[in-house]
Structure 1
Amino acid sequence: MNILVSGGGIAGLATALELGNRGHQVTLVERAAHLRVTGAPIDVRGDAVEFASRMGVLPKLREQRIRMAEHGVFVHADGSVAARLPVEEMSDSGDDIEIAREDLARTLADALPESTDIVFGDSVDVLTDDGAGVDVHFVSGRAERFDLVLGADGLHSVTRRLVFGPERDYVRHLGLYVALTDLPAEARTDRADRTSPLYNYPGHLASIARYRNKAFGVFLFRSGLLDYDHRDLDAQKKILLDAFAGHTEWKIPQLLDAVRADPEFYFDSVSQIHMPTWYRGRIALVGDAAHCAALLSGRGTSLAISGAHFLAEELEDAGGDHTVAFERYEQRQRPYVEFAQNSVTDGGELIVPSTQEAIDVRNARLQAVAA
């Protein structure tokens, strides 16, 4: 089949790989001008480890494994250690693979069959499903026809909006925003201390995450859903800078300076997507576009991999009958999604306590566990 995958993140790459390995002609279109590799390290967990093995990429993922959680410490304003991040609460088992996002993305991209057509700097604009195929008009002005269209374009999915309606109908905001910024000054290969410090004040987190010769700043803060253009970099920076304005303790001023200088600063809400169904006609959704579980679950990457595997496998088993395949794909993926979404129960209280009392209680609890 001739299949369009919209979105070049982990879900899109995994879907293109699974489909390409089964002989389909895949076109992968990505709005960004290059492979998206920015972001915090991510986890491959549970059955997704086995699916990565079937894709043929597991040995490479194990070679690139990192262990950031083992170095995480909560700190006071003066930098002294308040408590250690509980590693046992951050993983399911010893088989979990924590990996840099760029390593996973590049590994999947490198494994794509040569027949896969990757188009950067473009995105879907109009989708017309006439029952026999899908006519796709792109922002660039070009038009093509595909047998199937798969939306793997994330939390703010254009595919979902075009086919199922506005994002507001499906989003469930969890009361937090997250931001990431590059910290080149902290990324030194000769640094002996690999500690990743996390500093809290009520409703806010500022952190430095280090792995290998890289470092990035992480911010989380509590807020209701904000109205802004999620593609407007300056607007995103202003929201973050305003949220941490007036705080000069710890390393917050230096981290905010890094935000101002970062051309690929990342900012978004911590939200979930809940939909009654993930497919309509010849168009289906995969990954966060269908069922974002939010970063607090730690399972978004695993869901992207399992969804890609189930969808491709069901298309193969159904002999290309997309109606049967899409239904079976959703039936198999739903339990994984519900588990991941339901695992987000504390609203981020472990890492972003809402009050100073809650911060103190958390630190005391973690100190007692470590004693």
Structure 2
Amino acid sequence: MKSTKKPRTTVTHSLAHLDVLISGASIAGPALALWLARYGARVTVVEKAPALREGGFAVDFRGEAHRTVLRRMGIWDEVHRRQTRMGRQVIVEADGRERVELPAFLMSGDVEIFRGDLSAILYERTRDDVEYVFGDSVATLSEHSDGVDVTFDHGAPRRFDLVVGADGLHSRTRRLAFGNESRHLRFLGYYVAGFGIPNHLGLDRTAQVYSEPGRTVMVSNYDGDPERAGAGLVFASEWLGHDRHDKEAQKRLLAARFADMGWPHAAVVLENLEDADDLYFDAIAQIHVDGLARGRVVLLGDAGYGATMGGIGTGTALVCAYVLAGELAAARGDHRAAFAAYEAEVRDYARGCQRTSGNAGPFLAPPTERRIRSRDRAYRLLASRFLAGFFKRLTERAANGITLKDYGPAEGGPRTARDYASRNRQP
């Protein structure tokens, strides 16, 4: 584990001269917006959804690097207040008998929160200082020596000094500036789906997991709501090349893949799939790009080094947003120097976190009965008191694999250029 202590990089200039467009209002985009606004930049966040997306999967933070950034952002206490407080997660036999209990730290880290709740926290902290545009997307980018001309699907064209692609694994910004997705997406042989269902198992912040070779069904209750639960499906597959926007076709595909499972509750899950209006379905994949910047356009979070699951992606996004904003401030807005420094700081860290996602599919849905038994034995080892501390440190190794600079403003730091200048005014 690397130390997160590093000599302070003093920032003495605001970014009040910068006009920055961020594409994506989930996690990475608003996190960057928070820091840039504190440095005084004028920030616009554009999001294709008509409003903030609620719910979603739970995301977790683990290790000192994550804790440090959450504290410097000033959201540590609020994240803890809204955490899931998830309890027992057990792997079951077809008849419901427990095979093994999953250790909480392995699945939930130090603190776990719904993605939608974290997004709401970041929006609440930035909406007074940042322009949010919902229901629109970047359509074209045209870079010039002094800025980037941007057209939108609906809004009027505008010019920005910098553009940040923080719009996820299937980033349109990345496609416009870096080329087609096929050049950057690496499929890992599995698919994942999730949707809400009635809490027919009566779960209370617990989960049950059932696996057969190459496919797994999970039913969980993260928030204590006695009426609602979440279903998760993972299965091994060849590349499907499916339409990401055709939810009915995805439902038919899932129904066929999970038909005739031995666990009776799997049939109940599929019965509720037909009417689900919140289906998430995607390939388990990674993004690999040759460099994180093209001129005045830079990638952040899943758009630049994402993984569908298992890659500590949310914590990585917050850490890297902190670094990107800090390097822009340290370089006084010189994007060439800042983007180069940003990539140098986060490249190995982001890739190290991303590598942890490589085994997510095979571990959640092992391909053979023998592999299922091996996975369950590994879970029993993880749950043992003797080895729990060792494995906890092991899961934090990637998350802690960066030495964080102190760029200046910390928790409660300046929120405007005037505040920042006042704080740093010499007597």
Common fold: TM-score over 0.5: yes
CA offsets, 1:286-330, max 9 Å, x none? 000000133122x10011101111111111111111111111111
Q: Describe the superposition over 1:27-84 as per-residue Cα deviations: whole angstroms up to 9, x where unpaired.
A: 111111111223211012331221121111111012222343x411001112211111
Contact 1:33 1:121 in 2 (8 A): yes
- Deviation track 1:186-213 (CA, whole Å, cap 9, x = no partner) reads 189xx57443000111101111111222
Structure 1 range deviating more: 35-44 or 236-245:
236-245
Instruction: Give 1:304's aligned amino acid.
Output: A
Distance 1:366 1:164, change over 3 A: closer
Q: 1:54 to 1:168 in 2, by over 3 A?
A: same
1:192 and 1:266 mapped to 2: Cα distance?
22
1:235 partnered with 2:249? yes
Residue matched to 1:291: 305
| 1:54 corresponds to which of 69, 72, 86 | 72
Question: Structure 1, residues 125-146: CA drift from partner, whole Å, max 9, x if none?
Answer: 1011112111111111521111
How many Å apart are 1:26 and its aligned residue? 1.1
CA contact (8 A) 2:55 2:114 kept: no
Q: Distance in 1 between matches of 2:92 and 2:248?
A: 30
Match of 2:94 in 1: 77
Q: 1:369 to 1:291 in 2, by over 3 A?
A: closer
Q: Where does 1:262-281 land on structure 2 (aligned, <5 Å)?
A: 262-281=276-295
Cα 1:329/1:242, change in 2 over 3 Å? same
Per the alignment, in what secondary structure is the counterpart of residue 291 of structure 2?
coil
Of stretches 353-362 and 143-152 in structure 1, the one that deviates more from structure 2 is 353-362
In 1, Cα distance between the equivalents of 2:173 and 2:108? 32
Q: Tell me how far apart the structure 2 counterparts of residues 49 and 367 of structure 1 sit (CA, whole Å).
A: 28
The aligned counterpart of 2:313 is 300
TM-score of the pair, normalised by structure 2: 0.80
Does the CA-based 8 Å contact 1:293-1:340 persist in structure 2? no
Instruction: Give distance in 1, aligned partners of 2:200 and 2:150.
Output: 43
Q: State the match for 1:218 in structure 2.
A: 232
Any conservation in 2 of the 1:174–1:347 contact (CA below 8 Å)? no
User: Using CA pairs below 8 Å that are at least 6 residues apart, which structure has the higher relative contact order?
Assistant: 2
Task: Summarize the Cα distance change of 1:66–1:193 in structure 2 as closer, same or farther, 3 Å threshold.
Answer: closer
Q: Could you say if the C-alpha distance between residues 315 and 256 of structure 1 is closer, same or farther in structure 2, counting changes exceeding 3 Å?
A: same
Residue aligning to 2:352: 339
Change (3 A) 1:336 1:91: farther
Is the Cα contact below 8 Å between 2:136 and 2:152 reproduced in 1? Answer: yes
In the alignment, is the contact (CA less than 8 A) between 1:131 and 1:282 conserved in 2?
no
- Find the aligned partners of 1:318 and 1:141 in 2 and give their Cα distance: 31
Q: Is 1:146 the equivalent of 2:173?
A: no
How many equivalent residue pairs? 363
User: In structure 2, do the counterparts of structure 1 residues 289 and 365 end up closer, same or farther at CA, with 3 Å as the change threshold?
Assistant: closer
Q: Deviation per CA, 1:196-235, whole angstroms, max 9, x where unpaired?
A: 0001111011111112225211110011222122122223
Contact 2:102 2:383 in 1 (8 A): no
Q: Distance in 1 between matches of 2:382 and 2:155?
A: 59
For normalisation by structure 1, the TM-score amounts to 0.92
* Alignment partner of 1:43 out of 57, 60, 63: 60
Structure 1 residues not aligned, in runs of 5+: none
SS for the counterpart of 1:348 is: helix
State the Cα distance separating 1:366 from its structure 2 match.
Answer: 3.9
Corresponding residue for 2:406? none
Displacement after TM superposition at 1:246 (Å) = 3.3
Q: Distance in 2 between matches of 1:117 and 1:173?
A: 35
SS of alignment partner, residue 150 of structure 1: strand
1:319 aligns with 2:332: yes
Instruction: Give the Cα–Cα distance (whole angstroms) in 1 for the partners of residues 200 and 77 of structure 2.
Output: 27
Give the Å deviation of 1:113.
4.7
Other-structure match for 2:44: 27
Pick from 206, 216, 229: which aligns with 1:205?
Answer: 216
| Structure 1 match to 2:407 | none
Q: 2:159 and 2:382 mapped to 1: Cα distance?
A: 59
Residue identity over aligned pairs, in percent, reads: 39
Equivalent position SS for 2:270: helix
1:2-151 mapped onto 2 (5 Å cutoff): 2-46=19-63, 47-68=65-86, 70-90=87-107, 96-140=110-154, 142-151=156-165
Residue equivalent to 1:180: 194
Shift, 1:115, TM fit: 2.9
What is the rounded CA distance, in whole Å, between the counterparts of 1:87 and 1:141 in structure 2?
45
1:300 alignment partner AA: G
Distance 2:336 2:36 in 1: 17
Gaps of at least 5 residues in structure 2 are: 1-17, 385-427
**Larger gyration radius, structure 1 or structure 2:** 2
